[in-house]
Amino acid sequence: MEINFKIGGLWLVVLLAIAGGAWYLSPQQSAKVETTVMANEVPVVMRTPGGLLEVATVKAHERFNRSDTKEFWGIFLGTTVSHIQVPVHYRYHIELAPEWTVIIKGKTCIVVAPPIKPSLPVAFDTTFLEKYTENGWARINKHENLAALERSMTPELAKRAAAPGYLQLATEPARQTVKEFVTKWLVKEQQWKRNPDYNVKVVFQGDPGVKDPVK
């Protein structure tokens, strides 16, 4: 009887495991996830006087770091560190409202356009956002440190967008965009020819090394 009981108990465990697996994998038992967006404030719509022309986009994978070190009476209590990585799209535009200088000399058109500006706030893709945080050996503030790092991302991205390196990367693509924009206007309004003999030169206000672009 003892042997029969042990064999029966084993089969019972197997049957329960099979039944549990079937229940778990059954489509009828799949979990239902609902996402609700709560809008507590009325959206504010602001007009952009004159409009903007988006001229370039710089894509980058940015990394943010924040460390917090603490001591107590000369005793080192460790360093809490947090990291965030995220794909970023820096977009640049020029304003259409300011007056543009356009001078046509024969088959050459010289355009002095407004300066390139970053579009703020900078956009980043949270779908691929990665973050990591770890307490120091005697610390319990890793979540607070990560939250502070997340709050610093928007102003830090604004600084990076206006940095000379990124502005330089955006300048030549922006110049080509403005050239195409002006050429279409010239063809329509000035019967400009679409051939290599007709050239459009674009200069942005504030371009380094350019004293008098119309000469």
Q: In the predicted model, is pLDDT for residue 208 greater than 80?
A: no
Residue 21 to residue 166: CA distance in whole angstroms: 54
Residues 152-177, mean pLDDT to the nearest whole number: 96
User: Residues 6 or more apart from 204 whose CB is under 8 A from it?
Assistant: 94, 112, 113, 114, 115, 116, 171, 174, 175
- Counting Cα atoms < 13 Å in the Cβ hemisphere of 80 gives 17
Residues 151-177, mean pLDDT to the nearest whole number: 96
Residue 7 to residue 9: CA distance in whole angstroms: 5
pLDDT tens, 118-135? 999 999 999 999 999 999
Q: Rounded to the nearest 5°, which phi and psi values hold at 40? A: -90, -15
Residue 2 to residue 6: CA distance in whole angstroms: 6
pLDDT tens, 173-188? 999 999 999 988 888 8
Q: In the predicted model, is pLDDT for residue 14 greater than 70?
A: no
Q: Which residue has the higher pLDDT, 59 or 40?
A: 59
Task: Look up the pTM and report it.
Answer: 0.76
> In a 3-state reduction of DSSP, which class is residue 132?
strand
Residue-averaged pLDDT of the chain: 83
Please check whether residue 175 is in contact with residue 210, taking contact to mean a CB–CB distance below 8 angstroms: no
Q: In the predicted model, is pLDDT for residue 161 greater than 60?
A: yes
pLDDT at position 165 is 94
